[in-house]
């Protein structure tokens, strides 16, 4: 029987897609149903038919799977950030492992062994960073929350379970202060108002907190009064910063930050590497799980005392510096100037003297180093979600390292890049998935590649 919009059909959910939807089949056609679990038996209503596949919603749950649990967040559906909050964690972890296996098999065409996933040490309250958009509700009250999926409509919630409760409390305190003192939230349609986002960071080991208000201007009314009130209520706050973003853009932060209280950053450690975190610093959001992940990267690198390690997309240098004691020389490359300066400071704080960092595009820097005759023994790649460009991969291949360690937050682009490298003499030996983002659809992985011949 052909299906069309509003058709109601019986389904049994078979698996999960990489965006978190349940996958079933009806008369040979794939049907994607959000907020379902493998084993759910249900009647579904078709909301969009694409010909070869369809999208549906649950019309009636006939028999829930044992993996299906009641979400413990009342706004997880409209918010959309926690697409797996209706699953038990074991099912979520297995699904993420299957995402990596599927990417390497289907996208990469590779039979790379995928090791059992490393679950996150914490399933809740693990995030060390949160960015709350700020706005007004229907009654005109100041609110902070998260954008509903594919919209800029703010879903307010007082206690998001992904980050420590004190970060939620600080955001609520700032909203109350803004309302009491007539400080207007930003309205992007009119490009008016002042406060765009409340951006908070917490040092996982240090406990220090950074409060950053992203503003459409360079001043905040009652700034010193806010600083005094915040630090009295939350003594762990070390720095309060204004970040200036006056652009008509979806990018959250601007390039200029103004310190209102404290040094403008917080300090923490990751894998024993001291780090300074400001508003623009890239940092893994799940510190305990990131330490597991970087430990695997160090294991896969198999560095020897005389080796040179090239760390591309090095950020603040955390991965490379965690391995600096294993090699003769560490070279780090990063395009963000603030991150490079942080990497240098981190190396100095550790007393590491065999490391140098410079600011450049990864691909151009790798090509220049290759032309200069650099022959690193091991290359570490930690690209953004879009993966590596061909210029970077070609430059790495030209250097001829014996081993490449890739750390990726996107299994699809990792599989694509590994296919490119495999076709040019670098065999992916194994991939290690790691869950850094419980309850969400995201998954990290580390891949070890070795030069053939």
Q: Which CATH class is domain 129-277?
A: mainly beta
**Whole-number Å distance between alpha carbons of 32 and 128:** 32
pLDDT tens figures, 405-447: 999 999 999 999 999 999 999 999 999 999 999 999 999 999 9
pLDDT at 294 over 70: yes
- Stronger pLDDT, 311 or 18, i.e. the higher one: 311
Global pTM reads 0.93
Quick one: average pLDDT of 241-263?
96
pLDDT of residue 1: 65
Quick one: average pLDDT of 309-331?
96
Percent above pLDDT 70 for the chain: 100
Where are the CATH 2.40.50.140 domain residues in the chain?
Answer: 8-68
Contact predicate 45/56, CB 8 Å: yes
| CA terminus-to-terminus distance, the chain | 56
Percent above pLDDT 90 for the chain: 89
Per the prediction, the chain carries an average pLDDT of 95
Q: Is 377 annotated as a binding residue?
A: no
pLDDT tens figures, 77-126: 888 889 999 999 999 999 999 999 999 999 999 999 999 999 999 999 99
**Whole-number Å distance between alpha carbons of 12 and 40:** 6
Given the structure tokens 């998954």, which residue do they identify?
443
pLDDT tens figures, 352-387: 999 999 999 988 888 888 888 889 999 999 999 999
Give catalytic residue positions.
409
pLDDT of residue 94: 96
pLDDT at 308 over 80: yes
Q: Which helix (H) or strand (E) holds 188?
A: none
pLDDT of residue 256: 94
pLDDT of residue 4: 86
Quick one: average pLDDT of 118-136?
97
> What is the CATH T-level fold of the domain 93-121+286-451, as seen in this structure?
Rossmann fold (3.40.50)
pLDDT of residue 149: 81
Where are the CATH 2.40.50.1070 domain residues in the chain?
Answer: 129-277
Q: Is 40 annotated as a binding residue?
A: no
Q: Is 89 annotated as a binding residue?
A: no
pLDDT of residue 95: 96
- Dump the DSSP string for 237-265: EEEEEEEE--SSSS----SEEEEEESSS-
**Whole-number Å distance between alpha carbons of 448 and 453:** 16
Sorted by sequence, the CB contacts under 8 Å of residue 393 that are 6+ apart come out as 417, 420, 421, 424
Q: Is 382 annotated as a binding residue?
A: yes
pLDDT of residue 423: 98
**What's the CATH number of domain 8-68, 3.40.50.720, 3.50.50.60, 3.40.50.360, 2.40.50.140?**
2.40.50.140
């Amino acid at each position: 029987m052909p299906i069309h919009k509003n058709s109601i059909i019986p389904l049994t959910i078979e698996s999960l897609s990489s965006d978190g939807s349940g996958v079933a089949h009806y008369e040979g056609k794939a049907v994607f149903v959000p907020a379902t679990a493998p084993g759910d038996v249900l009647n579904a209503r078709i909301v969009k038919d694409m010909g070869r596949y369809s999208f549906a919603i649950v019309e009636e749950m006939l028999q829930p799977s044992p993996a299906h649990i009641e979400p413990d967040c009342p706004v997880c559906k409209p918010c959309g950030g926690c697409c797996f909050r209706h699953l038990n964690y074991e099912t979520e972890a297995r699904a993420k492992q299957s995402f990596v296996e599927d990417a390497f098999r289907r996208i990469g065409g590779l039979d790379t062994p995928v090791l059992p996933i490393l679950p996150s040490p914490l399933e809740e309250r693990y995030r060390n960073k949160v960015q709350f958009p700020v706005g007004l509700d229907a009654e005109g009250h100041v609110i902070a929350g998260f954008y509903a999926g594919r919209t800029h409509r703010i879903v307010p919630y007082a206690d998001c379970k992904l980050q420590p409760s004190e970060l939620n409390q600080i955001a609520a305190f700032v909203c109350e202060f803004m309302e009491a003192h007539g400080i207007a939230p930003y309205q992007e349609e009119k490009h008016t108002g002042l406060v765009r986002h409340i951006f908070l960071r917490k040092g996982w080991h240090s406990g220090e907190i950074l409060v950053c208000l992203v503003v459409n201007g360079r001043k905040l009314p009652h700034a010193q009064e806010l600083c005094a009130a915040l630090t009295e209520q939350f003594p762990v706050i070390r720095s309060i910063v204004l970040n200036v973003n006056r652009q008509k853009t979806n990018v959250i932060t601007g390039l200029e930050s103004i310190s209102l209280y404290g040094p403008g950053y917080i300090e923490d450690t990751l894998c024993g590497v001291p780090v300074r975190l400001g508003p623009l610093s890239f940092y893994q959001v799940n510190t305990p799980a990131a330490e597991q992940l970087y430990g695997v990267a160090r294991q896969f690198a198999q560095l020897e005392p005389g080796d040179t390690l090239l760390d591309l997309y090095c950020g603040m240098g955390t991965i490379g510096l965690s391995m600096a004691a294993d090699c003769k020389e560490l070279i780090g490359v990063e395009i963000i100037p603030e991150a490079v300066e942080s990497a240098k400071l981190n190396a100095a704080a550790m007393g590491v003297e065999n490391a140098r960092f410079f600011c450049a595009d990864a691909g151009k820097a790798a090509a220049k180093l290759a032309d200069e005759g650099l022959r690193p023994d091991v290359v570490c790649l930690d690209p953004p979600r879009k993966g590596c460009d061909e210029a970077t991969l070609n430059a790495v291949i030209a250097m001829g390292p014996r081993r490449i360690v890739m750390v990726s937050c996107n299994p699809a682009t990792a599989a694509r890049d590994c296919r490119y490298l495999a076709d040019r003499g670098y065999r992916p030996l194994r991939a290690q998935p790691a869950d850094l983002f419980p309850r969400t659809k995201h998954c990290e992985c580390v891949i070890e590649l070795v030069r053939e011949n």
